[in-house]
Amino acid sequence: MSFSGAGESVWAGPALSTECFRRDVLAGLSKRKKTLPCKYLYDESGARLFEEICELEEYYLTRTELGVLERNIAQIAGLLGPRANLVELGSGNCLKTCLLLDHLDQPASYSPVDVAHPQLLDCSDRLSRAYPGLAVEPVCADYTHSFSIPAPPAGSGRTTFFFPGSTLGNFEPEDAVSFLRRIARLCSPAGGLLVGIDLKKSPQILNAAYNDAQNVTAQFNLNLLARINRELQGGFDLEQFQHRAIYNASAGRIEMHLISCRKQTVAVDGHRFAFTKGESTVTEHSYKYTMNEFRRLAARGGLEVANCWTDERSWFSVQYLVPRKDRT
């Protein structure tokens, strides 16, 4: 498979096929407490809606993280070193990526890893044209499972994984530990992980961020049901489900739900699922951490915090993790 306009190969990986989508949706809806994996929120429509969310007044995460990166970019770029290889988990809108690339000392390669093939190629194409001397090698894979990355170019420097946006918070803690262990193994001894982590704060601020006044987050959440209708012959009536997001303080996480407005039965790919009035289907958890909580989580994943930067209110952190010397 070749990447548009430049001829670089898109590395084969465990991308999300329609069959994977079908299997995960049917399994999630068959549970006593129904769930749908949050990774399926990001089809083309979902990705576009999420970009709108990032611009909302209530959604502090994106602008706060960007501000932290901008204020500390010289130090961050220095840590990544000359001729760096940057591997981004999730291709995103490239804004934070370009900030990094603009300040790195002659970066050698950039590899976005994403399951969304159209967005992956669009990101790769834009960056290949913006940075003509940069080796752009996209990887179409589900980074929540094992995946491979291209070999670094000859003479290049250290490899750093870039995971912005507090996406690690969408992992259940034990899954986050397993994920960090995989990254620790992929890091060379001199490599690292640059990750955005949302911090615990007022429940009012958190609840507002996921229940915006313009209902864009509601559209984003409901789009998952629309995607099931489009791709899996689903029969969801979107007007009979409502978005709800709440902060569960005891678990330290935002919980995003789709609530059935009435008793109903919905068919998906020939299977029928009963919903009671008020029944919840969980579509996302977003964990928030204190600094010490995340440090302990990283340690369990074989990584240690080498540097950490926050905004003036300590709402969000960008952390640089390196493999622990004592990891086995």
> What 3-state class would DSSP assign to 236?
coil
26 within some domain: no
Residues 148 and 189 in one domain: yes
Where do the DSSP E strands lie in 57-185? 85-89, 109-114, 135-136, 139-140, 159-163
Query: Binning pLDDT at 50, 70 and 90, where does residue 291 land?
Result: very high
Q: Which residues 6+ apart lie within 8 Å of 34 measured at CB?
A: 28, 273, 275, 279, 280, 281, 282
Please give the structure tokens belonging to residue 239: 């007007």
Instruction: Kindly state the average pLDDT of the residues 92-116.
Output: 91
Residues 195 and 230 in one domain: no
| Percentage of the chain lying above the pLDDT 70 cut | 95
What tens digit of pLDDT does each residue of 114-128 get?
A: 887 778 888 899 999
Give which of 1, 7, 2, 6 is closest to 128, Cα–Cα. Answer: 6
Residue 212 identity (one-letter amino acid): D
Residues 146 and 71 in one domain: yes
Whole-number pLDDT of residue 10:
59
What tens digit of pLDDT does each residue of 16-33 get?
A: 578 989 999 999 999 999
Distance separating the N- and C-terminal Cα atoms of the chain: 37
Residues 100 and 84 in one domain: yes
98, pLDDT greater than 60 = yes
Residues 89 and 123 in one domain: yes
Whole-number pLDDT of residue 146:
87
12 within some domain: no
Give which of 159, 213, 145, 150 is closest to 187, Cα–Cα. Answer: 159
Residues 77 and 163 in one domain: yes
Residues 235 and 258 in one domain: yes
9 within some domain: no
Residues 151 and 217 in one domain: no
Residues 42 and 137 in one domain: no
Give which of 89, 1, 10, 87 is closest to 42, Cα–Cα. Answer: 89
Residues 160 and 254 in one domain: no
| Number of domains into which the chain is organized | 2
Whole-number pLDDT of residue 2:
30
Give which of 220, 217, 192 is closest to 207, Cα–Cα. Answer: 217
Give which of 179, 213, 202 is closest to 301, Cα–Cα. Answer: 179
Whole-number pLDDT of residue 237:
98
For residues 121 and 4, is the Cβ–Cβ distance under 8 A? yes
- Report the distance separating Cα 302 and Cα 176, nearest Å: 11
Query: Which H helix or E strand runs over 264?
Result: strand 264-268
> What 3-state class would DSSP assign to 328?
coil
8 within some domain: no
For residues 302 and 184, is the Cβ–Cβ distance under 8 A? yes
Query: Binning pLDDT at 50, 70 and 90, where does residue 109 land?
Result: very high
210 within some domain: yes
- Report the distance separating Cα 65 and Cα 63, nearest Å: 6
Query: Binning pLDDT at 50, 70 and 90, where does residue 11 land?
Result: low
- Report the distance separating Cα 26 and Cα 268, nearest Å: 8
Question: pTM for the full model?
Answer: 0.92
Q: Which residues 6+ apart lie within 8 Å of 67 measured at CB?
A: 311
The whole domain housing 43 covers 32-57+203-286
Residues 110 and 188 in one domain: yes
Q: What is the DSSP string of 298-309?
A: HHHTTEEEEEEE
Pairing of strands 241-248, 253-260: antiparallel
Q: What is the CATH number of the domain that holds 102?
A: 3.40.50.150
21 within some domain: no
Query: Binning pLDDT at 50, 70 and 90, where does residue 327 land?
Result: low
What tens digit of pLDDT does each residue of 179-228 get?
A: 999 999 998 788 999 999 999 999 999 999 999 999 999 999 999 999 99
18 within some domain: no
Whole-number pLDDT of residue 58:
97
The CA-atom distances, in angstroms, between 6 and each of 111, 125, 149, 151 are: 14, 8, 18, 18
Instruction: Kindly state the average pLDDT of the residues 45-70.
Output: 96
- Report the distance separating Cα 229 and Cα 133, nearest Å: 43
Residues 190 and 146 in one domain: yes
Give which of 178, 1, 164 is closest to 88, Cα–Cα. Answer: 164
6, pLDDT greater than 60 = no
Whole-number pLDDT of residue 7:
37
